[in-house]
Amino acid sequence: MENKMKKTILSLITLSLSSSLLLAQSSTTLSIGGTYSEGDYGTQDTTTSIYVPLTAKYKNKMFEMSVMVPYIQLDSTGSFTWTPSGPVPISPVKPTDYLTSTTPSDPFAPSSTTSGTKTKTSGLGDVNLKVGYTFVPMQGLYLKTSAIMKVATADKDKGLGTGENDYSAQVDAYKAMGKTYLYITAGYTLIGDTQSVNYNNSAYGSAALGYNFTKLLSMGANYSYRQALFDTIDDTQNSSAYLSYKFSKSFKMDMSYTYGMSDTSADNAYTLTLSETF
């Protein structure tokens, strides 16, 4: 089942990339964002991170594809690995120590998590490839199905990634009700296992309720959830408030504040994204 899903996602992404030059009347959106987050993630110390994704998206009517390349900076005490849920504390002190260890253990067990000296790592994160198609089953309702591949480009020895590819299938639903709108996401990720670590595959989802004050300004609130990658850590839960403002038809700004509702979440996160459509 997992291999079939991986092959399907790879086929969709390959087909979309190879046919992108044939798209007519398409638009291109370039965006750069930045998220600063802080939290203890169930440890005794505070970890801060900066996540800066650069995204290019191509769209033609109901079809779209995107490539996202992130930069990550992680300032922590002890050892952390960047995962789809964000930074997760591991033991022993360095990720490479666990990967080369001959004694099986749970790297995310709270009892085994150790603290060490304060360290700062930074560099390229995992590149994300995404293709999607939107359906309109009824007026005001939009359903988008997407295939997503996380390419393991991050340095696992620095804790900036797991060192393995991930594959996701996702469905987004958008329903307009006058100036109010509802946005729901549901997905499932096959997490790539390493030679030493077997991750749990994870279901995830979110629900947002927003309001369009004008054609330029909208605000809303969001709740998100992701299953834990290991049985010994909590599922990730967050709540957030966001604002979106269009300076023009092509230039947009998005801002959000996120509050962590579990030990695996950042306590606080602040995000700013700027987008330009051509």
Domain range summary for the chain, segments of one domain joined by +: 2-277
pLDDT band at 110 (very low <50, low <70, confident <90, very high): very low
Q: Supply the pLDDT for residue 10.
A: 65
Q: Supply the pLDDT for residue 103.
A: 43
Q: Supply the pLDDT for residue 118.
A: 78
The string of pLDDT tens digits covering residues 132-176 is 999 999 888 999 999 999 999 999 988 899 999 999 999 999 999
Q: Supply the pLDDT for residue 180.
A: 97
Higher-pLDDT residue of 89, 112: 89
Q: In the structure encoding, which two tokens stand for residue 157, read together? A: 């020895």
Q: Domain 2-277: which topology? A: Porin (2.40.160)
pLDDT band at 14 (very low <50, low <70, confident <90, very high): low
Q: What percent of the chain has pLDDT over 90?
A: 64
Mean local confidence (pLDDT), 195-224: 94
Contacts of 110 (CB under 8 A, 6+ apart): 42, 232, 233
Q: Supply the pLDDT for residue 128.
A: 97
pLDDT band at 86 (very low <50, low <70, confident <90, very high): confident
